[in-house]
A = this chain, B = another copy of it.
Amino acid sequence: MAIVAVGSLAYDSIITEKESRERILGGSLSHFANAAAFLSKPKLVGVIGDDFLDEDIKFLKKKTSSLEGVERAEGRKSFFWKGKYSPNFDERESLATELNAFEHFDPKVPESYHDEDYILFLANIDPVTQSRVVDLCAGARLSVLDTMNFWIEKTPKELSSVFKKVDAVIINEEEAAMLTKTPDLVKAGKILMDREGFKFLILKKGSNGVMVFGEDYIVSLPAFPVDPVVDPTGAGDSFAGAFFSYLDKHGMDLSCETVKTAAVYATIVASFCVQGFGVDGIDSVSDEDIQNRMEDFRRASGF
């Protein structure tokens, strides 16, 4: 079994109240692979520019099982994002979004990626492109997409159309409220499950945890209490990476019990993400660190 992940590879400049970082490795795929790699190194489909550093290629090689689907756009720069977080990380302001190579991203899924059964993860990109990739990957055992407020507002029809094609989505509470016109998350989750016919729906609530709606269950978990938070960038993609790597390692079983354990595991891996800048928080931890924090989480929230 394997995971094929399609999304962005980027450089991020991040400003927080205490510290800042210039042009560190970011993008949904970097965070996704970083978190998935403990259990299942994914195969990536993405695009980088001329400026993408050898050390970052090396990092991605370590975290993935194939980069064959990552192309370099000659004459263009990599996707660049600059953002500033409020002192308590409850808001963030985008100071710059330069799509560069990503603007013309035309995902090509290498033949070799179809050699074994796989989960298809579509990180947040425009729904038309997502739809095209789903068509290219008709053989995927499970297809999942992430999206964002921008596409919900600007391309609701296209998004609705790709919703019909995938098995599951991963969204946050703001997006769930926008999609259903209700801030009541239990209600919103049920509405989306009924309306879209998903196999499951992951509803991320940041520091308030996560819910997973299945065909005949709701899983609800708190977050692992982290203090201090250093940089929340990539926490959602890290959660997704860890979650789907767990499902991949457990035969894509979608029973309540396996999905819940996957969500517990992903909560722990994602909690390390926010404790460092960019990919550092997760990259610096060992399997043992994860196991130890699982025990701490069990003490705080297990029953």
Contacts and interface: CB of A to CB of B under 8 A. Distances in A.
Given A184-B89, A261-B303, A220 B222 contact: yes
A90 interface: yes
B219 A88 contact: no
A303 B261 CA distance: 7
Interface in A221-274: 221-229, 256, 260-261, 264
A229 B184 contact: yes
A9 B256 CA distance: 43
A188 to B, nearest CB: 10
A72 interface: no
B88 A183 contact: yes
A299 B182 contact: no
A303 B302 contact: yes
A205 B220 CA distance: 14
Interface string A101-112: 000000000000
B298 A303 contact: yes
A256 B299 CA distance: 8
B260 A303 contact: yes
Contacts of A211: 222, 225
A165 interface: no
Interface residues of A, number: 38
A301 B220 CA distance: 5
A244 to B, nearest CB: 19
A73 interface: no
Nearest to A222: B220
Interface of A: 88-90, 182-187, 190, 205, 207-209, 211, 217-229, 256, 260-261, 264, 298-303
29 contacts: A88-B183, A88-B184, A88-B187, A89-B184, A90-B184, A184-B229, A186-B207, A186-B225, A187-B228, A190-B227, A205-B208, A208-B209, A209-B222, A211-B222, A211-B225, A218-B225, A218-B300, A219-B300, A219-B301, A220-B222, A220-B223, A220-B301, A221-B222, A221-B303, A260-B300, A260-B301, A264-B303, A301-B303, A302-B302
